[in-house]
Amino acid sequence: MEVITSKDNRKIKDLSKLLNKKYRDIENKFLVEGFHLVEEASKSNKLLEIIKTEDCECAIDAPTTLVTYDVLKKLTNTMTPQKIIGVVSKLDEKEIGNKVLIVDELQDPGNLGTIIRSSVAFNFDTIILSENTVDLYNDKVIRSSEGMLFKINIIKKTTQEAIDYLKNKKYKIYGTKVDGGSNIKNIIFPNKLAFIIGNEGNGVRKEILDQCDEYLYIPMNSDCESLNAAIATSIILYEIGDK
Amino acid sequence: MEVITSKDNRKIKDLSKLLNKKYRDIENKFLVEGFHLVEEASKSNKLLEIIKTEDCECAIDAPTTLVTYDVLKKLTNTMTPQKIIGVVSKLDEKEIGNKVLIVDELQDPGNLGTIIRSSVAFNFDTIILSENTVDLYNDKVIRSSEGMLFKINIIKKTTQEAIDYLKNKKYKIYGTKVDGGSNIKNIIFPNKLAFIIGNEGNGVRKEILDQCDEYLYIPMNSDCESLNAAIATSIILYEIGDK
3-state secondary structure chain A: CCEECCCCCHHHHHHHHHHCHHHHHHHCEEEEECHHHHHHHHHCCCEEEEEEECCCCCCCCCCEEEECHHHHHHHCCCCCCCCEEEEEECCCCCCCCCEEEEECCCCCHHHHHHHHHHHHHCCCCEEEECCCCCCCCCHHHHHHHCCHHHHCEEEECCHHHHHHHHHHCCCEEEEECCCCCEEHHHCCCCCCEEEEECECCCECCHHHHCCCCEEEECCCCCCCCCCCHHHHHHHHHHHHHCC
Answer whether residue B243 shows pLDDT above 60.
Answer: no
The answer, yes or no, to whether residue B100 has pLDDT greater than 60, is yes
Q: Pick the closest to residue B156 from B132, B121, B172 (CA basis).
A: B132
> Is A82 within 8 Å of chain B by CB?
no
Question: Are B173 and B220 found together in one domain?
Answer: yes
Q: Check residue A193 and give its pLDDT.
A: 98
Same domain (yes/no): A81, A107: no
Asked whether the predicted pLDDT for residue B194 surpasses 70, the reply is: yes
Confidence of residue B160 (pLDDT cuts 50, 70, 90): very high
pLDDT of residue A85 exceeding 70, the answer is yes
Please say if the pLDDT value at position B242 is more than 80.
Answer: no
Kindly indicate the confidence band of residue B201, based on its pLDDT and cuts at 50, 70 and 90. Answer: confident
Residue of B nearest to A147 (CA): B224
Q: pLDDT tens-digit profile of B85-94? A: 999 999 999 9
Interface check for B226 against chain A (CB to CB < 8 A): the answer is: yes
Is B55 within the bounds of a domain? Answer: yes
The answer to whether residues A136 and A119 touch, using CB atoms and an 8 Å cutoff, is no
A190 occurs within a structural domain: yes
Mutation to test the A interface, candidates B224, B225, B234, most A Cβ within 10 Å: B224
- Residue B138 falls inside a structural domain: yes
Last-in-domain residue among B89, B108, B143: B89
Select the residue of B114, B220, B221 nearest A228 (Cβ to Cβ): B114
Residue A49, chain B, CB below 8 Å: the answer is no
**ipTM of the complex, rounded to two decimals:** 0.93
How confident is the model over A224-231, as a mean pLDDT? 93
Residue B105 predicted with pLDDT over 70: yes
Contact residues, chain B, for A224 at CB < 8 Å: 117, 120-121, 148, 151
What would the mean pLDDT of B50-70 be, rounded to a whole number? Answer: 94
Looking at the fold, whether B64 and B137 belong to one and the same domain comes out as no
Give yes or no: residues A79 and A139 share one domain.
Answer: no
Same domain, A32 and A74: yes
Q: Calculate the dihedral angle through the C-alpha atoms of A115, A120, A122, A124, rounding to the nearest 10 degrees.
A: 90
pLDDT of residue A57: 87
Give the pLDDT confidence score for residue B75 in this predicted structure.
97
Q: Look at residues A44, A64, A89 and tell me which one is the last residue of a structural domain.
A: A89
pLDDT in the model for residue B161:
97
Q: CB burial class (10 A; 0-12, 13-18, 19+) of residue A222?
A: exposed
Asked whether the predicted pLDDT for residue A242 surpasses 80, the reply is: no
**Does B231 lie in the same domain as B121?**
yes
Q: Which of A140, A231, A234 to mutate to test the interface with B (most CBs of B within 10 A)?
A: A231
Q: Do B225 and A146 touch (CB under 8 A)?
A: yes
* Rounded mean pLDDT, A202-216: 95
Pairing, β A193-197 against β A172-176: parallel
Residue B215: strand pairing partners: B175
Residues A67 and A114 in one domain: no
Kindly tell me if the per-residue pLDDT of B46 is higher than 60: yes
**Which residues make Cβ contacts (< 8 Å) with residue A210, sequence separation at least 6?**
none
- Is pLDDT of A243 > 60? no
Kindly report, residue by residue over B107-149, the tens digit of the pLDDT. 999 999 999 999 999 999 999 999 999 999 999 999 999 999 9
A131/A227 same-domain check: yes
Between A48-52, A238-242, B64-68, the lowest mean confidence (pLDDT) is in: A238-242
Select from A37, A65, A89 the last residue of a domain: A89
Indicate whether A52 and A149 sit together in one domain: no
Please report, for the domain that includes residue B114, its CATH number: 3.40.1280.10
* % pLDDT > 70, chain A: 99
pLDDT tens track for A123-144: 999 999 999 999 999 999 999 9
Looking at the structure, tell me whether residues B119 and B185 fall in a common domain. Answer: yes
What count of other Cβ atoms lies within 10 Å of the Cβ of residue B59?
A: 7
Q: Which residue range(s) make up the domain with B116?
A: 99-241
Average pLDDT of the residues of chain B: 95
B204 falls within a domain: yes
Which pTM does this prediction carry?
A: 0.94
Task: Tally the domains of chain B.
Answer: 2
Q: What values do phi and psi take at A83, rounded to 5?
A: -90, 10
Instruction: Compute the average pLDDT of residues B230-241.
Output: 96
Interchain contact, B223 vs A118, CB within 8 Å = no
Tell me the pLDDT of chain A averaged across its residues. 95
Question: Measured between CB atoms, which of A118, A146, A220 is closest to B121?
Answer: A220
Q: Please check the confidence at residue B16 and state whether its pLDDT lies above 80.
A: yes
Residue A114 to chain B, least CA–CA distance (Å): 7
Query: Binning pLDDT at 50, 70 and 90, where does residue A232 land?
Result: very high
Q: Tell me the chain A residues in contact with residue B237 when contact means C-beta distances shorter than 8 Å.
A: none
- Is A94 contained in some domain? no
Residues A106 and A207 grouped into a single domain: yes
